[in-house]
Amino acid sequence: MKSLHFDSLDSTNTYLKDNYQNLDDLTFVSCDYQTEGKGRNGRQWLSEDSQNLLFSVLIKDKFLIEEFKKLSVVSAYSIIQILENYGLKNLSLKWPNDVYANDCKICGILLEAITRNEIDCLVIGIGLNVNQTEFNDEYRIRPTSMKIELNKDTDKVNLKRNIYEKLVSNFETVKNGHDFYSEITKYDYLKNKDATTTINRNEEKIRIIGINRDCSLKIRFKNEDLDIEAGEITLNL
């Protein structure tokens, strides 16, 4: 395991983006506290000191970089597999890469590309709520943690190693051509849900059909099916 750990960083994603040239494929960097933890869409990622897992994985393998859409969904699925092994129930994957337990967010994933002329590498940043039990009111989606779900503390060192091994083995499986589609659809949180979204500045009703084999999302709008990529749509449920 090519692993680096720090007490505190601005952000594990930023660390890998700043240092990727000197680091190997699949380097894993974690820390106890982030001073500028980043969430998706420019939001902050808040996490109490030493309570949770905050880590990022560097992807330099050219084949995996091309599969970046799958990697984000497969990363979330890997977290679900690990959480199930720890006894969590009612887990789901909210496309493209949030993990929910009992309809509350337990894990968020931020995938960033480092691009010069083409994509040089990817950084997959994962924040998993482990032993934190108090969350302030600043969260858009109600948070939960392993401790809230299981009523006990989890050893973060073992958990981190288990997650690393699962991610590496699932990424290897993606390289071998497996797409995890049938496994992932079982956990599809958005499947068959009604939502609204802004289309041409109008708030429109849509129906979400579900995750596609290529990890885009199929939605139905005015009887027409459309495939949406991550980042192209904001859904209000």
Q: What angle do CA 169, 174, 177 make, to 5 degrees?
A: 130
- Choose which of 110, 146, 159, 228 interacts with ligand BTN (CB under 6 A): 110
- Identify the sign of the CA torsion 148, 83, 13, 218: negative
Distance between CA atoms of residues 218 and 226, nearest Å? 6
Pinpoint the alpha helices (H) of 151-200.
Answer: 156-175, 181-185
Q: How far is the CB of 193 from ligand BTN (least distance, A)?
A: 19
CB 194 within 8 A of CB 205: yes
Residue sitting closest to ligand BTN (CB):
108
Is residue 161 at the binding interface for ligand BTN, with CB under 6 A as the rule?
Answer: no
Nearer CB in complex with ligand BTN: 138/224: 138
Closest contact distance (angstroms) between CB of 139 and ligand BTN is: 10
3-state DSSP assignment of residue 170 = helix
Q: Which of 68, 74, 168 is nearest to 114 (CA)?
A: 68
Would you give the binding string for ligand BTN spanning residues 10-29, x where CB under 6 A is met? -xxx----------------
Considering the rule CB under 6 A, would residue 37 count as an interface residue with ligand BTN?
yes
Q: How far is the CB of 227 from ligand BTN (least distance, A)?
A: 22
DSSP strand pairing (91-94 vs 53-59): unpaired
Q: How big is the site for ligand BTN, counted in residues (CB under 6 A)? A: 20
Q: Which two tokens stand for residue 117?
A: 């002329």
Rama region for 166: left / alpha / beta (φ>0; ψ in -120 to 50; rest) = alpha
Residue 109 binds to ligand BTN (criterion: CB under 6 A):
yes
Q: Contact between 126 and ligand BTN (CB under 6 A)?
A: yes
Closer to ligand BTN by CB, 22 or 35: give it.
35
Among 27, 34, 129, 216, binds ligand BTN (CB under 6 A): 34
Kindly state the helix (H) or strand (E) to which residue 92 belongs, with its residue range. strand 91-94
| Residue 69-88 contact track with ligand BTN, rule CB under 6 A, x = bound | --------------------
- State the residues that interact with ligand BTN by CB under 6 A: 11-13, 34, 37-40, 43, 45, 54-56, 98, 108-110, 125-127
